[in-house]
Every structure is written in structure tokens, then in C-alpha cells.
Amino acid sequence: MSENQESLAKLGHENRLFPPSAEFIAQANAQASMYDEAEKDRLAFWEKQAHELQWDAPWTTVLDWKVPFAKWFVGGKINASVNALDRHVAQGRGDRVAFFFEGEPGDTRTITYAQLLTEVKKTANALTELGIKDGDRVAIYMPMIPEAAIAMLACARIGAPHSVVFGGFSADALLSRIQDADAKLVITADGGYRKGAPFALKPAVDDALKGKTNVKNVLVVKRTGQETHWDSNKDVWWHDIVDRQSTEHVAQSFDSEHPLFILYTSGTTAKPKGISHTTGGYLTQVAYTHKMVFDIKPETDVYWCTADVGWVTGHSYVVYGPLINGATQVMYEGTPDTPHKGRIFELIAKYKVSILYTAPTLIRTWMKWGDEFPNAHNLKSLRLLGSVGEPINPEAWMWYREVIGGDRCPIVDTWWQTETGAIMISPLPGVTHTKPGSAMRPLPGISGKVVDDNGKEVGLGHGGYLILDKPWPSMLRGIWGEEERYKETYWSRFDGVYFAGDGAKIDTDAAIWLLGRVDDVMNVSGHRISTTEVESALVSHAAVAEAAVVGAADEMTGQGIVAFVILRGGIPNVCGEELIKELRAHVAKEIGAIAKPRQIVVVQELPKTRSGKIMRRLLKDVAENRAVGDSTTLADPNVMALISQGLSTAKDED
Ligand code: PRX
């Protein structure tokens, strides 16, 4: 943890403290007493949160915990879609806006809870007509349009676990996820809009389905109207089948532990993990955290989480949490700089957004673009700001607070993961005195600690590993189809406690500072990508013999991917730039554009120990332009000098 130690030293000086205003405190949803209440009787606390939902049958046991397998609210029956929609309509909130949708080209749709419910019911009927039953897996590969949320809720309504695959992933990545979950149906769109132009999605689905799958149908939303290859045996237009369905649909109740979704995420190996979540506990914790952390007042707030539904943030804080709480949201399809760099701010002003939840990488990008863009718009409607996905550096935190939040909005820096399902560590606005860059402390009901190599809690002022030592309702229930991998990945580093993979420091005020991953997972713009995954992609190219990938600190994206490759014998590196371009495109094809290395350096040798293990630590030193650390265990001590030379001549690409 040498890098962590360095960060610790830097953080030693942060003593700015931002208490909530008296005005905010007076109206806050969360109270300080919740910490004591949860501490006194954790299970009773979670039971109370679960009672906020509508259950069709009560649970008999709050928690059944056989390490590392948890069941929450055992015996309870519930339907996710009913909680997100029917309940609001039945209680007279049908006319409330659920989504203000803004397409990138500027087209808009306003969808009320009643309208959303009708669409979800019709879609549920269409899925049933297509032969989808409870337990069947459905892959969703969509742009950020209302139908993405509708598709997820329709799946949940009929008990078919969804597996949303981010629209930026490649056909190969989509295929491996379809195969792993053995999906029967793919829901997609002809395409979407991004960076001022339509992009296509359906061709990637067609490509993926050339592989061996059990997919019977592809349900396609017409978004762009672009020409789309059609196989009438398999492909079904959304408007053809959904529009003619009955608007009635009686939702069935499912067991609290019924699988709700699978979401793939990168780990330390090349194969993504199918993180499995179930229903009752997940919904309880996303609703609770959404209400308390974002202080949501559904009658008056306009909430905007900028995440795509392809990531867990889109699942928990666009679809399930906010809709269960009856929130009014903004959903935006496109990129933040289309058609101009003020687009997000223009939308905040247009919809009078009061709560904004976004990622540090975007905040840093805004900082780079300049204050004139936010300053050109009226952002006075904002009253709370959130951050997620990676550590937020104190400078970016301060800028977010001052320039976007007008120095009046509390910031909630929320730490969590695909695996945790919901926010775990975060300030409670109205309670917590925040420090710029710290996620502060575990939420009421959550137990997280910083421990040393032996799993022993470190004292205040020290760094170590972040662990979660008590089960929580929205925790992953496993890795799809890989029980051993589940135990090995999360529960073996420290016996019987969950190890998240992050380094952390707990300061003298017991505030937690996240320090990034301690394993071979990179965090690029808040997205997890494994070094091994990119290495495998590179080695699958005919020209590459060996590859080593590291995440190097990057001012904008948190980390940038730097790859060191050895070419196969006989491949001349004459047309260097051409080849590097090709390799980057190859990684994009294998995984997706987000995994394209920032830099690829062709080397003759990689630094290896005598036992043949690549010393990535040294490569990281080179990639971050640092003096190379201790290399005495290298088999060939000259290798590093050669590599450093190679890097200084390599060029940065887009
Ligand atoms: O390293 C942590 C980082 O993102 C990882 C989880 O990534 P993912 O499963 O894709 O979920 C991202 C959205 C919840 C964590 O292991 N991370 C997430 N939030 C923070 C963070 N690091 C520091 N501070 C955060 N607030």
C-alpha cells in the first residue's frame, strides 16, 4: 500500500469543515439519532426501513445469515414494480411527473407516474407474450431513454431478472454477458444519440447473436429511425408489440429473495462477475438511502442522477430508489458537451433541478472547461449535491461546492459498489459536518471498518483496508453461477468479513477517506475495468505476445489505462502509430470504447521477478512519471531503463 501511504500524508492537512446550515437542518429527513437507534438494534432498524415499502405478505425472519450467504426479510412477498409505480398511482400521485426526459437532439417527453405505470404494464404483457416467465433472464442493451427504465420495471414486474449491459460495451462483451446469464430475450434500440449524432446499437446485438445463445427474440425500440437490419423470425419492434397490449396487468408477488437483477462488473480476472441482487432487501436499502442521503422531498424536489442505467448507480438511483420514493427526475440521453459545454447547467435551470448526483470525473471536466459555463445559467434551484464512483479530490469538492452549489448546498460524497447495491458510507445532509474529499462515516445500519493486513482495526489516524463486517440488506447474494468465486473474491482475504477491494484511511475524527483500489482493478471515469481484462484483449490480437496493463493517475479520469506490450516475433514495429491505433481499436472491439488504453507502449521486455511475475508496481511508477521504486528483485535489472525510454517517446492519444 505504498501509494496509499503517500495519499495519507497529503490528506493529513485537510481540516476544513462544512456544517449544514440551520435552514437545512430544520427540514432534513435524516436525524442524528438514527445512528444510536441503529446501533442499539440493527435488525429492528432495518425492519423499520422495510416497513416503508408495500409488502404483499410479511416476513417471518429479518435476517438469515450463514456467512457469506444472507437472506433478508425471509418469507416476505413483494413486487418491485408495484412499489415503484402502482403504489403512487393508487395513493393519488398518478399525475406527478416521474421523468422529464431530454433527448440529446433536444426532443422532450414528460412522463407521469400513471403514464409510466401504463407503459410498464403493457411492456410486461408484451414480455409475457414473448414467452418470458419469472426466473427467465432478460438482457437490456439500451441508450438512456425512458424505455430503458420501462424495460427494467417490466422485467421486475413479472419476476424476470434483468441484466443491463451498458450501451457502450462491444458486441463481444454483450455476447459473453448474454451467455453467462443464459438470457432468453434481448431488449435494445435501433440506436441513440451521442455527441451530436446517432449511433447504432442493433448491429452489435446482431453481431453478438452470431455466437451460441438461447436468445429467442430481440425487442427493438425505434429511437433514431436509422436503417436497421431485420430478421423477422427473431426481431420484434417495440411499437408493434407493446402498443397493442392491454393496459391492465396484475402484478404477482415474489419472494423477498427472488432475484431482481444481475449486473456484470470487472474484478481481478478477465471474466466479469455477474453480481446478483435480490428484491426485498435491495429495495429497502435503496429507498432508505435515497430518502436520507439525498433528503428527497418528492412533492417539491427535482432530482437528477446523471448515471446511465448500464451502471449500478442507474439501477439504484435512477430506477428503483427514486421511483419508490415517488421522486420527479430528469433523464438525459446525451453527453454533457453537446451541443455546448453548458448543456447540463442549461437543463438544471430549465427543470429547476434541486438535487444533483454525479461523478468526480465530470466535475473535474467542468472545472477544466471553465466557470463561465455554469455561471451563464441560473443554478439557484440546487439545494444538495452528490458525488459517486471514485474519490473526489478536495479541489474538485470545493469547486463543486462553490461554483455549482453557490456555497449553500451540502455535498454528499457517497461510497458504495455494484456489490453493495446501495450507498454504504456517506454524510447525512443536515447532520454531518463534511470535510472536502471524505465520504465521512458508514450510514446508520451499516458497519464498516478500516483494518490492517491481519484484519485488525487500525487506530484513528491510520490507513488500511476498508471492510464491511456485518451483512446489509442490499448486499450482493453471490456471483451468478460462481459460488466458489464469490467466497474467494469477497470473503477470503479476511475471514468472514466482506473485503471491498478499497484502501482507506480513518482520520483522527473518525472520518473515512477512500484511497482507491488495492487490487488489479482500475477506476477510469468512475468505471471499473480490470487490468487482466485489457491484457487478455490485447493478447488476443495477432501482433501481441504479452501485455501488462496498469492504471496511472489521470487528472481528468481518475485513472488512465497504460499498456505495455511485447510484439510477437517477426512483427516489426515499423508502422508504430498505425499498430498502436489498431491495438486500441481492438480493445474497443473486445470490451468497449471505455477500455481503450490511453497509452500503449511497445517494449522489448517486461519487468519480471525471477519467478516470472510481472512487477506492475514498477510499470506504474513509469506510467506516472515517478522514479522507479525498488527493482532489486527483477530478473533483469536493465529492463526498467529501457521501458522508461520507450515511454518517453510514446505519444498520448485521444
Ligand atoms: O473503488 C471504489 C469506487 O468505485 C468502486 C465501485 O465501483 P462500481 O461497482 O462500478 O460502483 C460505482 C458506483 C457505486 C469502489 O470499490 N468508488 C465508488 N464510490 C466512491 C469510490 N471511491 C471513493 N469515493 C467514492 N465515493
What local confidence, expressed as pLDDT, does residue 4 receive?
A: 46
Same domain, 26 and 71: yes
What local confidence, expressed as pLDDT, does residue 13 receive?
A: 61
What's the CA-to-centroid distance between 321 and ligand 1, angstroms? 18
Same domain, 541 and 492: no
- Which grid cell is 124? 410486461
Nearest Cα to 112, choosing from 328, 385, 268, 263? 328
Residue 131's domain is classified under what CATH number? 3.40.50.12780
Whether residue 517 is contained in a domain is answered as: no
What's the CA-to-centroid distance between 626 and ligand 1, angstroms? 26
Cα 338 to Cα 68: distance, rounded to the nearest angstrom? 46
Whether residue 513 is contained in a domain is answered as: no
Which protein residue has the closest C-alpha to ligand 1 atom 6?
417
Same domain, 531 and 441: no
Domain-ending residue, one of 457, 472, 504 = 504
Cα 160 to Cα 138: distance, rounded to the nearest angstrom? 7
Which protein residue has the closest C-alpha to ligand 1 atom 23?
391
What's the CA-to-centroid distance between 96 and ligand 1, angstroms? 32
Cα 478 to Cα 488: distance, rounded to the nearest angstrom? 11
What's the CA-to-centroid distance between 276 and ligand 1, angstroms? 17
Which range of residues forms the domain containing residue 549? 525-645
Of the chain, the end-to-end C-alpha distance in Å amounts to 31
What count of other Cβ atoms lies within 10 Å of the Cβ of residue 580?
A: 21
Which protein residue has the closest C-alpha to ligand 1 atom 13?
389
What count of other Cβ atoms lies within 10 Å of the Cβ of residue 22?
A: 7
Rg (alpha carbons) of the chain, rounded to whole number: 24
Same domain, 312 and 414: yes
Would you call the peptide bond into 391 cis, given omega within 30 degrees of 0 as the criterion? no
> Which phi and psi (to 5°) does residue 350 adopt?
-60, -45
Q: Which sign does the torsion angle of CA 350, 321, 147, 205 carry?
A: positive
How many whole angstroms from its chain centre is CA 153?
A: 18
Whether residue 251 is contained in a domain is answered as: yes
Whether residue 433 is contained in a domain is answered as: yes
Same domain, 83 and 168: yes
- Which grid cell is 499? 473485503
Same domain, 477 and 610: no
Nearest Cα to 440, choosing from 410, 470, 414? 414
Same domain, 404 and 366: yes
Show Cβ contacts of residue 59 under 8 Å, excluding neighbours closer than 6 positions.
Answer: 50, 73, 74, 75, 76, 256, 280
> Which phi and psi (to 5°) does residue 433 adopt?
-90, 110
Distances (CA, A) of 558 to 221, 344, 371, 447: 34, 21, 21, 27
- Which grid cell is 267? 474484478
What local confidence, expressed as pLDDT, does residue 653 receive?
A: 43
Cα 241 to Cα 397: distance, rounded to the nearest angstrom? 47
Segment 236-245 long-range contacts (CB within 8 Å, at least 24 positions apart): 236/130, 238/126, 238/147, 241/126, 241/129, 241/130, 242/119, 242/122, 242/123, 242/126, 243/122, 245/121, 245/122, 245/123, 245/125, 245/126, 245/129
Whether residue 519 is contained in a domain is answered as: no
Reported as type and span, the H/E element at residue 99 is: strand 97-102
Segment 452-461 long-range contacts (CB within 8 Å, at least 24 positions apart): 455/494, 455/495, 455/497, 458/506, 460/506, 460/507, 460/508, 460/509, 460/510, 461/506, 461/507, 461/508
Strands 558-567 and 544-554: antiparallel
Which protein residue has the closest C-alpha to ligand 1 atom 12?
389
313 assigned to a ligand binding site:
yes
Same domain, 550 and 591: yes
Q: Answer whether 392's CB lies under 8 Å from 414's CB.
A: no
What local confidence, expressed as pLDDT, does residue 155 receive?
A: 99
Distances (CA, A) of 311 to 18, 314, 481: 30, 5, 21
Q: Which residue has the cell 459545454?
A: 341
What local confidence, expressed as pLDDT, does residue 608 receive?
A: 86
Cα 261 to Cα 70: distance, rounded to the nearest angstrom? 16
433 assigned to a ligand binding site:
no
Same domain, 542 and 464: no
3-class DSSP assignment, residue 117: helix
Sheet holding 185-189, edge to edge: 235-237, 217-221, 185-189, 138-141, 162-164, 259-265, 273-278, 478-479
- Which grid cell is 567? 510484439
Q: Answer whether 237's CB lies under 8 Å from 203's CB.
A: no
Show Cβ contacts of residue 407 under 8 Å, excluding neighbours closer than 6 positions.
Answer: 401
Q: Answer whether 268's CB lies under 8 Å from 532's CB.
A: yes
What's the CA-to-centroid distance between 522 and ligand 1, angstroms? 11
Same domain, 375 and 487: yes
Q: Answer whether 418's CB lies under 8 Å from 2's CB.
A: no
3-class DSSP assignment, residue 76: coil
Q: What is the mean pLDDT of each run of 10 residues along the chain (654 residues)?
A: 46 80 98 98 98 98 98 98 98 98 98 98 98 98 98 98 97 97 98 97 98 98 98 98 98 98 92 97 99 98 98 98 98 97 98 98 95 98 97 95 98 98 98 98 98 96 97 98 97 94 95 93 93 93 93 94 91 77 95 95 88 86 85 78 69 44
Whether residue 512 is contained in a domain is answered as: no
What local confidence, expressed as pLDDT, does residue 654 receive?
A: 42
Q: Based on the structure, what is the number of domains in the chain?
A: 2
What local confidence, expressed as pLDDT, does residue 100 receive?
A: 98
Show Cβ contacts of residue 530 under 8 Å, excluding neighbours closer than 6 positions.
Answer: 266, 267, 268, 269, 270, 520, 521, 522
Domain-ending residue, one of 504, 534, 551 = 504
Query: How many degrees, rounded to 5, is the angle at CA 56 between CA 111 and CA 79?
Result: 40
Ligand 1 atom closest to Cα of residue 516:
1
Same domain, 104 and 236: yes
Cα 550 to Cα 185: distance, rounded to the nearest angstrom? 36
Q: Which sign does the torsion angle of CA 43, 49, 52, 56 carry?
A: negative
Cα 450 to Cα 467: distance, rounded to the nearest angstrom? 6
Q: Answer whether 631's CB lies under 8 Å from 618's CB.
A: yes
Q: Answer whether 631's CB lies under 8 Å from 640's CB.
A: yes
Show Cβ contacts of residue 156 under 8 Å, excluding neighbours closer than 6 positions.
Answer: 79, 80, 81, 84, 162, 260, 261, 279
Show Cβ contacts of residue 240 under 8 Å, excluding neighbours closer than 6 positions.
Answer: none
Nearest Cα to 210, choosing from 240, 180, 174, 236? 174
- Residues near ligand 1 with C-beta < 6 Å? 265, 312-313, 388-391, 413-418, 439, 500-502, 514, 517, 523, 528
Whether residue 520 is contained in a domain is answered as: no
What local confidence, expressed as pLDDT, does residue 647 receive?
A: 66
Q: Answer whether 112's CB lies under 8 Å from 95's CB.
A: yes
Ligand 1 atom closest to Cα of residue 426:
26
What local confidence, expressed as pLDDT, does residue 36 receive?
A: 98
What's the CA-to-centroid distance between 95 and ligand 1, angstroms? 35
Cα 250 to Cα 259: distance, rounded to the nearest angstrom? 20
What count of other Cβ atoms lies within 10 Å of the Cβ of residue 533?
A: 26
Which protein residue has the closest C-alpha to ligand 1 atom 8?
417
Would you call the peptide bond into 339 cis, given omega within 30 degrees of 0 as the criterion? yes
- Which grid cell is 515? 484511497
What local confidence, expressed as pLDDT, does residue 269 receive?
A: 86
Global confidence as pTM: 0.94
Whether residue 266 is contained in a domain is answered as: yes
What count of other Cβ atoms lies within 10 Å of the Cβ of residue 273?
A: 26
Ligand 1 atom closest to Cα of residue 501:
16
Residue 613's domain is classified under what CATH number? 3.30.300.30
Same domain, 548 and 465: no
